[in-house]
Amino acid sequence: MAAAKVPHRFGESPAPAPAPAGSATPVPWRRRLDLWLDSLAYERGLSPRTVSAYRSDLVRLGNWLDRQKGKGEAKDLVAADPAAIAAHLRWLHGQEISPRSVRRAMAAMHGFFRDLVEAGERRDDPVENLAAPRLLRRLPRVLTEDEVERLLAAPDLATPAGVRDKAMLELLYATGLRVSELVGLRLPQIDLKGGFLLAFGKGSKERVVPVGEEAELSLGRYLTELRPKVARGRHDAVFVNLRGAPMTRQGFWKILKAWGVRAGIDRPISPHVLRHSFATHLLEHGADLRAVQAMRGHADIATTEIYTHIHQQRLRGAYDRFHPRA
Protein backbone atom coordinates (compact mmCIF):
# COMPACT_ATOMS: atom_id res chain seq x y z
CA MET A 1 0.00 0.00 0.00
CA ALA A 2 1.45 3.41 -0.98
CA ALA A 3 2.31 5.80 1.85
CA ALA A 4 -0.04 8.78 2.21
CA LYS A 5 1.36 12.17 1.21
CA VAL A 6 1.97 14.56 4.11
CA PRO A 7 0.38 17.97 3.34
CA HIS A 8 2.50 21.10 3.78
CA ARG A 9 1.62 24.77 3.92
CA PHE A 10 2.12 27.12 0.98
CA GLY A 11 5.61 28.62 1.10
CA GLU A 12 7.06 25.74 3.08
CA SER A 13 9.27 23.07 1.62
CA PRO A 14 7.78 19.59 1.69
CA ALA A 15 9.28 17.23 4.20
CA PRO A 16 12.15 15.20 2.75
CA ALA A 17 11.29 11.71 1.63
CA PRO A 18 12.60 8.96 3.91
CA ALA A 19 15.80 7.31 2.72
CA PRO A 20 15.26 3.97 0.96
CA ALA A 21 15.82 0.93 3.11
CA GLY A 22 19.46 -0.10 3.09
CA SER A 23 20.77 3.22 1.70
CA ALA A 24 24.01 4.42 3.27
CA THR A 25 24.52 7.91 4.69
CA PRO A 26 27.67 9.52 3.23
CA VAL A 27 30.58 9.23 5.64
CA PRO A 28 32.08 12.53 6.89
CA TRP A 29 35.29 12.32 4.86
CA ARG A 30 33.26 12.03 1.65
CA ARG A 31 31.35 15.22 2.45
CA ARG A 32 34.58 17.06 3.20
CA LEU A 33 36.14 15.73 0.00
CA ASP A 34 33.13 16.92 -2.03
CA LEU A 35 33.54 20.43 -0.63
CA TRP A 36 37.18 20.57 -1.73
CA LEU A 37 36.48 19.14 -5.18
CA ASP A 38 33.69 21.66 -5.70
CA SER A 39 36.13 24.46 -4.87
CA LEU A 40 38.56 23.15 -7.50
CA ALA A 41 35.87 23.27 -10.17
CA TYR A 42 34.16 26.55 -9.29
CA GLU A 43 36.88 28.66 -7.66
CA ARG A 44 40.09 27.47 -9.34
CA GLY A 45 38.55 26.50 -12.68
CA LEU A 46 40.13 23.04 -12.96
CA SER A 47 38.80 20.92 -15.80
CA PRO A 48 36.11 18.28 -15.11
CA ARG A 49 38.62 15.60 -16.16
CA THR A 50 41.18 16.71 -13.55
CA VAL A 51 38.56 16.98 -10.82
CA SER A 52 37.25 13.51 -11.70
CA ALA A 53 40.76 12.04 -11.56
CA TYR A 54 41.43 13.63 -8.16
CA ARG A 55 38.10 12.29 -6.90
CA SER A 56 38.99 8.74 -7.98
CA ASP A 57 42.43 8.96 -6.35
CA LEU A 58 41.13 10.25 -3.02
CA VAL A 59 38.07 7.99 -2.84
CA ARG A 60 40.43 5.05 -3.42
CA LEU A 61 42.60 6.29 -0.54
CA GLY A 62 39.57 6.89 1.71
CA ASN A 63 38.15 3.44 1.05
CA TRP A 64 41.56 1.84 1.65
CA LEU A 65 41.87 3.65 4.99
CA ASP A 66 38.36 2.52 5.96
CA ARG A 67 39.36 -1.08 5.29
CA GLN A 68 42.34 -0.68 7.63
CA LYS A 69 40.04 0.16 10.55
CA GLY A 70 39.29 -3.53 10.94
CA LYS A 71 43.02 -4.12 11.35
CA GLY A 72 43.37 -1.73 14.28
CA GLU A 73 43.91 1.48 12.27
CA ALA A 74 41.20 3.99 13.25
CA LYS A 75 42.07 7.02 11.10
CA ASP A 76 39.95 8.07 8.13
CA LEU A 77 40.87 10.25 5.14
CA VAL A 78 40.64 13.55 7.02
CA ALA A 79 42.84 12.35 9.91
CA ALA A 80 45.32 10.14 8.02
CA ASP A 81 48.93 10.36 9.21
CA PRO A 82 52.18 10.05 7.18
CA ALA A 83 52.60 6.38 8.11
CA ALA A 84 49.14 5.52 6.75
CA ILE A 85 49.75 7.48 3.54
CA ALA A 86 53.12 5.78 3.04
CA ALA A 87 51.48 2.38 3.56
CA HIS A 88 48.85 3.28 0.95
CA LEU A 89 51.56 4.30 -1.53
CA ARG A 90 53.27 0.93 -0.99
CA TRP A 91 49.92 -0.74 -1.65
CA LEU A 92 49.54 1.23 -4.91
CA HIS A 93 52.99 0.03 -5.95
CA GLY A 94 51.91 -3.55 -5.25
CA GLN A 95 48.85 -3.00 -7.44
CA GLU A 96 51.23 -2.03 -10.29
CA ILE A 97 49.77 1.48 -10.54
CA SER A 98 52.01 3.49 -12.88
CA PRO A 99 54.44 6.05 -11.39
CA ARG A 100 52.65 8.80 -13.31
CA SER A 101 49.31 7.85 -11.74
CA VAL A 102 50.89 7.65 -8.27
CA ARG A 103 52.35 11.14 -8.70
CA ARG A 104 48.94 12.47 -9.71
CA ALA A 105 47.37 10.78 -6.67
CA MET A 106 50.00 12.38 -4.43
CA ALA A 107 49.24 15.77 -5.96
CA ALA A 108 45.55 15.23 -5.16
CA MET A 109 46.39 14.20 -1.58
CA HIS A 110 48.69 17.19 -1.13
CA GLY A 111 46.01 19.61 -2.35
CA PHE A 112 43.32 18.09 -0.14
CA PHE A 113 45.42 18.00 3.03
CA ARG A 114 46.76 21.50 2.43
CA ASP A 115 43.15 22.70 2.23
CA LEU A 116 42.44 21.01 5.58
CA VAL A 117 45.48 22.73 7.12
CA GLU A 118 44.43 26.15 5.79
CA ALA A 119 40.93 25.58 7.18
CA GLY A 120 42.37 24.71 10.61
CA GLU A 121 41.03 21.15 10.45
CA ARG A 122 44.44 19.53 10.90
CA ARG A 123 47.97 20.67 11.72
CA ASP A 124 50.04 19.06 9.00
CA ASP A 125 50.11 17.77 5.43
CA PRO A 126 51.02 14.05 5.77
CA VAL A 127 52.19 13.90 2.15
CA GLU A 128 54.60 16.84 2.38
CA ASN A 129 57.75 14.86 3.17
CA LEU A 130 56.98 11.72 1.16
CA ALA A 131 59.00 11.14 -2.02
CA ALA A 132 57.10 10.76 -5.28
CA PRO A 133 58.16 7.96 -7.66
CA ARG A 134 60.55 9.03 -10.41
CA LEU A 135 59.28 9.13 -13.96
CA LEU A 136 61.14 7.95 -17.00
CA ARG A 137 60.70 10.75 -19.51
CA ARG A 138 59.48 9.28 -22.76
CA LEU A 139 60.11 11.35 -25.84
CA PRO A 140 56.82 12.21 -27.55
CA ARG A 141 56.09 10.83 -31.00
CA VAL A 142 56.37 13.39 -33.79
CA LEU A 143 55.88 13.44 -37.55
CA THR A 144 58.63 14.39 -39.95
CA GLU A 145 58.12 17.59 -41.94
CA ASP A 146 57.54 15.48 -45.05
CA GLU A 147 54.81 13.49 -43.29
CA VAL A 148 53.15 16.72 -42.16
CA GLU A 149 53.21 18.08 -45.72
CA ARG A 150 51.58 14.88 -47.01
CA LEU A 151 48.94 15.01 -44.28
CA LEU A 152 48.05 18.64 -44.97
CA ALA A 153 47.81 17.95 -48.70
CA ALA A 154 45.53 14.92 -48.25
CA PRO A 155 42.04 16.56 -47.89
CA ASP A 156 40.02 16.82 -51.09
CA LEU A 157 39.22 20.52 -51.50
CA ALA A 158 36.50 19.72 -54.05
CA THR A 159 34.31 18.49 -51.17
CA PRO A 160 32.81 20.44 -48.22
CA ALA A 161 34.34 18.01 -45.72
CA GLY A 162 37.73 18.40 -47.36
CA VAL A 163 37.61 22.22 -47.08
CA ARG A 164 36.74 21.96 -43.39
CA ASP A 165 39.29 19.24 -42.65
CA LYS A 166 42.07 21.13 -44.42
CA ALA A 167 41.33 24.17 -42.24
CA MET A 168 41.37 22.09 -39.04
CA LEU A 169 44.62 20.30 -39.88
CA GLU A 170 46.39 23.47 -40.99
CA LEU A 171 45.27 25.33 -37.87
CA LEU A 172 46.27 22.54 -35.50
CA TYR A 173 49.77 22.30 -36.96
CA ALA A 174 50.14 26.10 -37.26
CA THR A 175 49.22 26.79 -33.63
CA GLY A 176 49.98 23.66 -31.58
CA LEU A 177 46.52 23.80 -29.99
CA ARG A 178 45.25 20.96 -27.84
CA VAL A 179 42.39 19.12 -29.53
CA SER A 180 39.98 20.38 -26.85
CA GLU A 181 41.07 23.93 -27.64
CA LEU A 182 40.64 23.34 -31.38
CA VAL A 183 37.09 21.97 -31.24
CA GLY A 184 36.20 24.48 -28.52
CA LEU A 185 37.12 27.51 -30.63
CA ARG A 186 34.44 30.18 -30.96
CA LEU A 187 34.24 32.84 -33.67
CA PRO A 188 35.12 35.78 -31.37
CA GLN A 189 38.43 34.06 -30.52
CA ILE A 190 39.75 34.38 -34.08
CA ASP A 191 41.32 37.49 -35.61
CA LEU A 192 42.23 36.57 -39.18
CA LYS A 193 43.19 40.14 -40.11
CA GLY A 194 45.64 40.32 -37.23
CA GLY A 195 46.79 36.74 -37.73
CA PHE A 196 46.10 35.63 -34.15
CA LEU A 197 43.67 33.59 -32.13
CA LEU A 198 42.86 33.52 -28.44
CA ALA A 199 43.15 30.05 -26.88
CA PHE A 200 41.75 28.96 -23.53
CA GLY A 201 43.97 26.25 -22.09
CA LYS A 202 44.07 24.19 -18.91
CA GLY A 203 42.42 25.95 -16.01
CA SER A 204 40.79 28.38 -18.50
CA LYS A 205 44.12 30.21 -18.89
CA GLU A 206 44.21 32.55 -21.88
CA ARG A 207 47.04 32.84 -24.38
CA VAL A 208 47.41 34.57 -27.73
CA VAL A 209 48.75 32.32 -30.51
CA PRO A 210 49.89 33.48 -33.97
CA VAL A 211 48.32 31.82 -37.02
CA GLY A 212 50.49 31.19 -40.09
CA GLU A 213 49.61 32.32 -43.61
CA GLU A 214 48.67 28.86 -44.93
CA ALA A 215 46.37 28.25 -41.98
CA GLU A 216 44.83 31.72 -42.42
CA LEU A 217 44.01 31.00 -46.06
CA SER A 218 42.47 27.58 -45.34
CA LEU A 219 40.52 28.85 -42.34
CA GLY A 220 39.31 31.93 -44.24
CA ARG A 221 38.00 29.79 -47.10
CA TYR A 222 36.18 27.48 -44.67
CA LEU A 223 34.64 30.38 -42.75
CA THR A 224 33.37 32.15 -45.86
CA GLU A 225 32.42 29.26 -48.17
CA LEU A 226 31.23 26.42 -45.94
CA ARG A 227 30.52 27.23 -42.31
CA PRO A 228 27.69 29.79 -42.87
CA LYS A 229 25.79 27.29 -45.04
CA VAL A 230 26.08 24.48 -42.52
CA ALA A 231 25.90 26.22 -39.13
CA ARG A 232 23.16 28.64 -40.30
CA GLY A 233 23.71 31.02 -37.39
CA ARG A 234 22.68 28.53 -34.70
CA HIS A 235 25.87 28.92 -32.61
CA ASP A 236 29.35 30.42 -32.75
CA ALA A 237 31.44 27.22 -32.73
CA VAL A 238 34.11 27.57 -35.41
CA PHE A 239 34.24 23.95 -36.55
CA VAL A 240 31.08 21.98 -37.22
CA ASN A 241 30.11 18.61 -38.60
CA LEU A 242 28.16 18.40 -41.85
CA ARG A 243 24.86 18.54 -39.91
CA GLY A 244 25.87 21.89 -38.45
CA ALA A 245 26.53 20.73 -34.89
CA PRO A 246 29.79 21.69 -33.14
CA MET A 247 32.69 19.34 -33.91
CA THR A 248 33.62 16.93 -31.10
CA ARG A 249 37.02 15.63 -30.05
CA GLN A 250 36.02 12.13 -31.10
CA GLY A 251 34.81 13.39 -34.47
CA PHE A 252 38.08 15.17 -35.20
CA TRP A 253 40.09 12.16 -34.03
CA LYS A 254 38.38 10.00 -36.68
CA ILE A 255 38.94 12.66 -39.33
CA LEU A 256 42.65 12.88 -38.53
CA LYS A 257 43.14 9.12 -38.60
CA ALA A 258 41.38 8.83 -41.96
CA TRP A 259 43.56 11.52 -43.57
CA GLY A 260 46.65 9.96 -42.00
CA VAL A 261 45.88 6.71 -43.78
CA ARG A 262 45.20 8.59 -47.04
CA ALA A 263 48.57 10.36 -46.68
CA GLY A 264 50.38 7.04 -46.33
CA ILE A 265 51.51 7.62 -42.73
CA ASP A 266 51.98 4.09 -41.48
CA ARG A 267 52.25 4.76 -37.75
CA PRO A 268 49.82 5.91 -35.07
CA ILE A 269 48.74 9.52 -35.45
CA SER A 270 46.72 11.64 -33.05
CA PRO A 271 46.00 15.33 -32.41
CA HIS A 272 48.72 15.30 -29.75
CA VAL A 273 51.25 14.00 -32.28
CA LEU A 274 50.58 17.09 -34.41
CA ARG A 275 50.93 19.28 -31.31
CA HIS A 276 54.29 17.65 -30.54
CA SER A 277 55.35 18.06 -34.17
CA PHE A 278 54.51 21.78 -34.05
CA ALA A 279 56.88 22.33 -31.10
CA THR A 280 59.67 20.10 -32.40
CA HIS A 281 59.73 21.65 -35.87
CA LEU A 282 59.76 25.18 -34.43
CA LEU A 283 62.79 24.37 -32.30
CA GLU A 284 64.54 22.62 -35.17
CA HIS A 285 64.21 25.83 -37.19
CA GLY A 286 65.68 27.96 -34.42
CA ALA A 287 62.67 29.12 -32.38
CA ASP A 288 63.26 30.36 -28.83
CA LEU A 289 62.29 27.85 -26.13
CA ARG A 290 60.36 30.49 -24.17
CA ALA A 291 58.33 31.44 -27.23
CA VAL A 292 57.37 27.80 -27.84
CA GLN A 293 56.43 27.48 -24.16
CA ALA A 294 54.10 30.48 -24.46
CA MET A 295 52.48 29.27 -27.69
CA ARG A 296 51.85 25.78 -26.31
CA GLY A 297 50.51 27.09 -23.00
CA HIS A 298 53.03 25.26 -20.79
CA ALA A 299 53.15 26.56 -17.22
CA ASP A 300 56.62 25.04 -16.69
CA ILE A 301 59.41 25.44 -19.25
CA ALA A 302 60.71 21.99 -18.24
CA THR A 303 57.70 20.55 -20.07
CA THR A 304 58.82 22.31 -23.25
CA GLU A 305 62.46 21.32 -22.85
CA ILE A 306 61.67 17.70 -23.72
CA TYR A 307 61.40 18.79 -27.37
CA THR A 308 65.04 19.86 -27.34
CA HIS A 309 65.90 16.22 -26.58
CA ILE A 310 64.08 15.15 -29.75
CA HIS A 311 66.11 17.68 -31.74
CA GLN A 312 69.36 16.47 -30.16
CA GLN A 313 68.41 12.86 -30.88
CA ARG A 314 67.83 13.69 -34.55
CA LEU A 315 71.11 15.60 -34.78
CA ARG A 316 72.95 12.62 -33.34
CA GLY A 317 71.24 10.28 -35.81
CA ALA A 318 72.22 12.49 -38.75
CA TYR A 319 75.80 12.70 -37.48
CA ASP A 320 76.05 8.93 -37.07
CA ARG A 321 74.67 8.34 -40.57
CA PHE A 322 76.66 10.89 -42.53
CA HIS A 323 79.88 11.84 -40.74
CA PRO A 324 82.85 9.90 -42.20
CA ARG A 325 84.42 9.34 -38.78
CA ALA A 326 81.28 8.73 -36.72
Q: Which of 202, 207, 257, 262 is catalytic?
A: 202
Q: Which of 104, 178, 276, 296 is catalytic?
A: 178
298 is catalytic: yes
Q: 246 forms bridges with which residues in the sheet?
A: 240
178 is catalytic: yes
Q: Which of 186, 234, 272, 316 is catalytic?
A: 272
Q: Check if the beta carbon of residue 88 is closer than 8 Å to that of residue 62.
A: no
202 is catalytic: yes
Q: What are phi and psi of 72, to 5 degrees?
A: 100, -5
Edge-to-edge strands of the sheet including 190-191? 190-191, 196-200, 206-210
Measure the CA–CA gap between 179 and 175, rounded to whole angstroms.
11
Q: Long-range contacts of range 165-168, CB-CB < 8 Å, 24 or more positions apart?
A: 165/255, 165/259, 166/218, 166/222, 167/215, 167/218, 167/219, 167/221, 167/222, 167/223, 167/239, 168/239, 168/247, 168/252, 168/255
325 is catalytic: no
319 is catalytic: no
Q: Which of 30, 83, 80 is nearest to 59 (CA)?
A: 30
Q: Which of 275, 276, 281, 296 is catalytic?
A: 275
Q: 197 forms bridges with which residues in the sheet?
A: 190, 209
Q: 193 forms bridges with which residues in the sheet?
A: none
Q: Which of 103, 298, 311, 314 is catalytic?
A: 298
Which residues participate in catalysis according to the annotation? Answer: 178, 202, 272, 275, 298, 307
